[in-house]
Amino acid sequence: MAEKKTFVSKINIKNKRAAFDFLLLDGYTAGIVLTGTEIKSIRLGKASLVDTYCLIINGEVWVKNMYIAQYEHGSYNNHVERRDRKLLLNRREIRKLASAVKAPGFSIVPTLLYIDENGRAKLDISVARGKKEYDKRETLKEKEDRKQIAQRVKNLRY
């Protein structure tokens, strides 16, 4: 009987500010339209989701301001680092996203960029609502409490 291999991607580029600045609601996984040098740079881990956001333009979802470093062995065909990139979602998902974003205060935020088991770059996006200042303080307090509990459990001696 053949063993089933589980694939673990080494590339997981997270948008750490997204969970702090936004309340993440619905999540979707989308493919990205990339050029050859862009996927090579992502496989090297040279990408960032800081200040990245998504827009729906003419029934298509686009990710704006995503940084992918130029491939160091690329030639004159190297890509532009912060160009707009199209996301691949089906029509039903795009309609759900469009209806969710119509409400004021909601936006589409990329949360994770990774390579799947087939070697394709995928982007996890979420419908998000911006947090108020007191929500951010509450999040920081919860994080500090979890840290203290973990420290106390670690220091316990049986």
φ, ψ dihedrals at 113, nearest 5° = -115, 125
Determine contact, residues 147/122, Cβ cutoff 8 Å: no
Give the Cα separation of 22 and 130 in Å (integer).
Answer: 4
What CATH number is given for 12-131 in this structure? 2.40.280.10
The tens-digit pLDDT sequence of the chain (158 residues) is 555 555 556 888 888 888 878 888 889 999 999 988 899 999 998 999 999 999 999 999 999 999 999 988 878 878 888 999 999 999 999 999 999 999 888 999 999 999 999 989 999 999 998 877 777 788 888 888 899 988 888 888 65
* DSSP-based three-state secondary structure for 32: strand
Q: What is the pLDDT of residues 80-98, one digit of tens each?
A: 889 999 999 999 999 999 9
